[in-house]
Amino acid sequence: MGLLIKNGEIVTAADRFVADVYCDGGTVAAIGANLEKRGAKDEVLDASAQLVLPGFIDPHVHMELPFMGTVSADDFETGTASGVAGGTTCIIDFCIPARGESLLKGLETWRERSRKAVADYAFHMAITGWSDRTADEMRAVVQQHGITSFKVFMAYKGAIMVDDGELYQVMKQAAKLGAVVAVHAENGDVVFNLQKELVAAGQLGPEFHPVSRPSCVEGEATERALMMAALHGTRTYIVHMTCKESVAALERAKLRGQKCYGETCPQYLLLDDRVFVKPDFEGAAYVMSPPIRPPHIGHHDALWTGLTTGMLDSVGTDHCPFTMEQKRMGKDNFTLIPNGAAGVEDRLQLLYTYGVCEGRFDVQKMVALGATNPAKIFGLYPRKGTIAVGGDADIVLYDPSSRGTRSAKTHHSRADRNIFEGFKVSGKPTHVIVGGRVRYRDGKLDVERGAGRFIEREVARHSAPVAAGAAADARAR
């Protein structure tokens, strides 16, 4: 059964025009004026006065992640469903083997967990240590399993953090493979010591979480990761950037010609550190790393400006929800509060409202940040991240005239808090189409457990292994 979308305004990162879209067999079969149904059973959607957007891609989520003594509250089914309700039709999750565990064993575990996804997904493979077999396993992950991006955590000491020697090896091998390395950039040793001192001083509430992770700690780690990447010529993606120091480090690297990219998330653009002093331990709902930053000292402006100037490339969510019951594991010690919050469902409406409607960027830029750039950086383009003949029929009909409010009462995540609770939003997805099927319609989900596919990726041509000469140039700089 085909699907014909009539009279909408198609918005891609490159174009904006009124046309019809015909979807068949899960892909876009035609785009043009006055398209007609091709089969008697075809469904027709009237998209007059609506935007027709590519399905958003969230390059940073953690479904069913075992972390800090518990497991993130959304699994692949509820998390991808929550994404669909918010216009996100594809996620990239992180396969995170335990330190010392084989990457391929970790991958088996994540493949099992992800079988119930209702929308398509890919994985970044986290490297949480280095052994004699890691380089070979990295090669197998890229060349046999279609996972072309890795992840390193420079924080979470004693758990999944890598040290500088390990980071060096990951960057080196990823460059040989033409893979991208995504980096959680915080100086984990400094955080560990600051946490110890705060706890010893009896400073135990959630409001001390940001004190233990000041922005200089993030800026320094960003600089260090980019230096390591420059040594080897590794394509690098700094995740969840929150502050002016890290934006400046990325900017310097870009201006010296490095292939590097930056991601921020709505919470770092729209919230500030006053959330941590909410009474009754409610501040714990906002505990994530790096932390939400103080207002008035330039972090928020640096992030928004980074997005508008192209210094930052993408907006992910770092969706990693924990319920308040889980958060209470740290009621007597902020270092034990599971880090993370929900966001996969909120991103499109927040970007439209606070990015487009507030005049910070246009709707095409929004599409670039939330769909096209993540697809290009991580090798999903042009199958995903745009609306093009032959591409997957992952499409969002967005009604810009609607007005609403984000709330835990109406979101589809298992999180019992919404960190954007009460935020007014302009526009809403009326229909979300995943692989040519309408999976969200006028506020109702119609998803199928297991319908999501694992998307194998290939190393993009422009990210082919760097020549030895290029790495040598980087060393000389």
Should residue 263 be labelled a site residue for Zn ion when binding is judged by CB under 5 A?
A: no
Selected from 58, 313, 318, 394, the binder of Zn ion by CB under 5 A is 318
Selected from 145, 184, 232, 431, the binder of Zn ion by CB under 5 A is 184
Rounded to the nearest whole angstrom, what is the least distance from the CB of residue 154 to ligand URP in the complex?
A: 10
Rounded to the nearest whole angstrom, what is the least distance from the CB of residue 239 to ligand URP in the complex?
A: 7
Total residue count of the chain as it appears in this document: 477
The H or E element containing residue 471 is helix 468-476
Should residue 151 be labelled a site residue for Zn ion when binding is judged by CB under 5 A?
A: no
Question: Is the CB of 13 or the CB of 160 nearer to ligand URP?
Answer: 160
Q: How many helices (H) and strands (E) does the chain have?
A: 14, 19
Binding mask 218-237 for Zn ion (x = CB under 5 A): --------------------
Rounded to the nearest whole angstrom, what is the least distance from the CB of residue 335 to ligand URP in the complex?
A: 12
Strand-pair category, 180-184 with 56-61: unpaired
Omega before 290 within 30 of 0, i.e. cis: yes
CA-based end-to-end distance of the chain: 57
CB nearest Zn ion: which residue? 184
Residue 1 to residue 24: CA distance in whole angstroms: 7
Rounded to the nearest whole angstrom, what is the least distance from the CB of residue 102 to ligand URP in the complex?
A: 22
Rounded to the nearest whole angstrom, what is the least distance from the CB of residue 406 to Zn ion in the complex?
A: 20
Question: Is the CB of 53 or the CB of 229 nearer to Zn ion?
Answer: 229
> Among Zn ion, ligand URP, none, what binds residue 428 when CB lies within 5 to 8 Å by partner kind?
none
> Among ligand URP, Zn ion, none, what binds residue 340 when CB lies within 5 to 8 Å by partner kind?
ligand URP
Rounded to the nearest whole angstrom, what is the least distance from the CB of residue 72 to Zn ion in the complex?
A: 10
Rounded to the nearest whole angstrom, what is the least distance from the CB of residue 454 to Zn ion in the complex?
A: 20
Q: Are 281 and 206 in contact (CB under 8 A)?
A: yes
Can you say how many angstroms the Cα of residue 421 is from the centroid of all Cα atoms in its chain? 20
> Among Zn ion, ligand URP, none, what binds residue 339 when CB lies within 5 to 8 Å by partner kind?
ligand URP
Strand order in the sheet with 314-315: 56-61, 88-95, 120-126, 149-153, 180-184, 235-238, 260-264, 314-315
Question: Is the CB of 184 or the CB of 232 nearer to ligand URP?
Answer: 184
Question: Is the CB of 288 or the CB of 455 nearer to ligand URP?
Answer: 288
| Residue for token pair 């990951």 | 170
Give the CA angle between residues 444, 450, 452 to the nearest 5°.
80
CB nearest ligand URP: which residue? 339
Please list the alpha-helical segments (H only) found in 132-243: 134-145, 164-177, 188-200, 215-232
Segment near Zn ion (CB under 5 A); pick from 164-172, 317-325, 376-384, 392-400: 317-325
Rounded to the nearest whole angstrom, what is the least distance from the CB of residue 18 to Zn ion in the complex?
A: 38
Should residue 186 be labelled a site residue for Zn ion when binding is judged by CB under 5 A?
A: no
Question: What does the DSSP assignment read for 229-248?
Answer: HHHHT-EEEE-S--SHHHHH
The alpha carbon torsion through 26, 32, 37, 38 (nearest 10 deg) reads: -70
Question: Is the CB of 5 or the CB of 243 nearer to ligand URP?
Answer: 243
Question: Is the CB of 6 or the CB of 151 nearer to Zn ion?
Answer: 151
Q: Are 125 and 93 in contact (CB under 8 A)?
A: no
Question: Is the CB of 313 or the CB of 318 nearer to ligand URP?
Answer: 318
The alpha carbon torsion through 69, 236, 420, 74 (nearest 10 deg) reads: -40
- Which residues of this chain interact with ligand URP, rule CB under 6 A? 62, 184, 288-289, 318, 320, 339-340
Rounded to the nearest whole angstrom, what is the least distance from the CB of residue 65 to Zn ion in the complex?
A: 8
Q: Are 78 and 61 in contact (CB under 8 A)?
A: no
Strand-pair category, 180-184 with 149-153: parallel
Should residue 213 be labelled a site residue for Zn ion when binding is judged by CB under 5 A?
A: no
Rounded to the nearest whole angstrom, what is the least distance from the CB of residue 261 to ligand URP in the complex?
A: 16
Segment near Zn ion (CB under 5 A); pick from 16-24, 183-191, 266-274, 457-465: 183-191
Residue 348 to residue 266: CA distance in whole angstroms: 10
Question: Is the CB of 314 or the CB of 339 nearer to ligand URP?
Answer: 339
Which residues form the interface with Zn ion (CB under 5 A)? 184, 318
